[in-house]
Amino acid sequence: MRLIAATFLLALTVTLNESAAQAQSYPNRPITMVVPFAPGGVADITARPFAAVAQKLLGQPVVVENRAGAGGAVGHAYAAHAKPDGYTLMLALSSIVGIPIADEVNGRQPTYKMSDFTPIALISADPTVLMVPTEAKWKTLKDLIEDARANPGKISYSSSGIYGTTHTAGEMLAQAAGVQFLHVPYSGGGPAMKAALAHEVMFTIQGPSVAEPHVKSGKFRLLGSWGGKRIANLPNVPTMKEQGYDAEFYIWAALFAPAGIPQEVAAKLRETSRKVVQDPEFKRAMDNVNTPIDYRDGAEFQSFLATDSARLEKVIRRMGKTQ
């Protein structure tokens, strides 16, 4: 009996020592940061400055790799099934929690589950905004909703993909207003914005960071935001709730790793993330694209995830099956 106990303790000690050694040597080669969307969207413009600062802190290259498709699901699944050693990370948006629910609603086998990930840290959380071309006939959100009510399913908008962040935001508004829009999905926020610029659709939904330059250029105007309060840099844009529609939604960006990475490596990634968001270079990059940092990790991030997941699940289940 003593021999068995001694053997177990020896094996446990060896395992702990190996884990500690791995954490101490981590990273000793380049890290891949998956962005599950095309270049140009919120995830991409957050990931690139984050990676640039992180690689200085970690002493190894952090390479951003765009793996777009299916509203983010392609990149999510890739990261979920990567080796849990800390060398594959992912900068994901809020759509990560909605897509497995959507798969269930549509009777599909999910390609990943949230339990396949280790949440590292929340980086930012920004309400979406509704953008229309300046030449559009709608001057207010009320104008748009009344037109949609008179022409169900005919007013088109672009999104980052089926059940993705901006699709969910659009359907949340449609549900609250009792109207039906024509949803046109793209491979990410960047392509969705390009589609709106090319007048392939009648309006689009974006994060403020993507919207701001197009509003400043005079090409678009904003009819409302999905925030719980007005956006500080856009004080003249009323929220959906102010305009009578119970719709609140945020595009948040967060860092994830595959489930099962060593605790010490996860702790190092959280420590690094805290330093990144405090770095002047990263702060300046986020200021330049009008994206406020909202850093959370540990229990605080887990609580945020639980609340947001419940809100998104309610909307997606009401959406039901969609193509």
User: What digits encode the pLDDT tens for the residues 217-233?
Assistant: 999 999 999 998 998 88
Is residue 22 over pLDDT 80? no
Residue 294 and residue 94 in contact, taking contact as beta carbons nearer than 8 Å: no
Phi then psi for residue 46, to 5 deg, are: -90, -40
The single-letter DSSP state of residue 65 is E
Q: Which class is domain 129-225?
A: alpha beta
Is residue 240 over pLDDT 80? yes
Top-confidence residue, 267 or 18:
267
Paired strand residues for 118: 257
Burial class (CB in 10 A: 0-12, 13-18, 19+), 249: buried
User: What digits encode the pLDDT tens for the residues 96-151?
Assistant: 998 999 999 999 999 999 999 999 999 998 899 999 999 999 999 999 999 999 99
> Above pLDDT 70, what percent of the chain?
92
User: What digits encode the pLDDT tens for the residues 289-322?
Assistant: 778 899 999 999 999 999 888 888 999 999 888 7
Cα–Cα distance list, 3 to 7, 12, 13, 14, 16 (Å) = 6, 14, 15, 16, 20
Residue 71 and residue 40 in contact, taking contact as beta carbons nearer than 8 Å: no
Handedness of CA 232, 157, 106, 190 (dihedral sign): negative
Q: Which class is domain 30-126+250-319?
A: alpha beta
Q: Establish whether domains 30-126+250-319 and 129-225 are of one fold.
A: yes
Is residue 273 over pLDDT 90? yes
Angle at 63 between CA 61 and CA 65, to 5 degrees: 170
- Mean pLDDT for 205-214 is 89
CA distance 115 to 214: 38
Residue 44 and residue 9 in contact, taking contact as beta carbons nearer than 8 Å: no
CA distance 63 to 261: 19
User: What digits encode the pLDDT tens for the residues 58-110?
Assistant: 999 999 999 998 888 999 999 999 999 999 999 999 989 989 999 999 999 99
State the chain's mean pLDDT as an integer: 91
| Lowest-pLDDT range of 10-14, 237-241, 309-313 | 10-14
pTM for the model: 0.78
Domain segments of the chain as ranges: 30-126+250-319, 129-225
- Mean pLDDT for 182-202 is 94
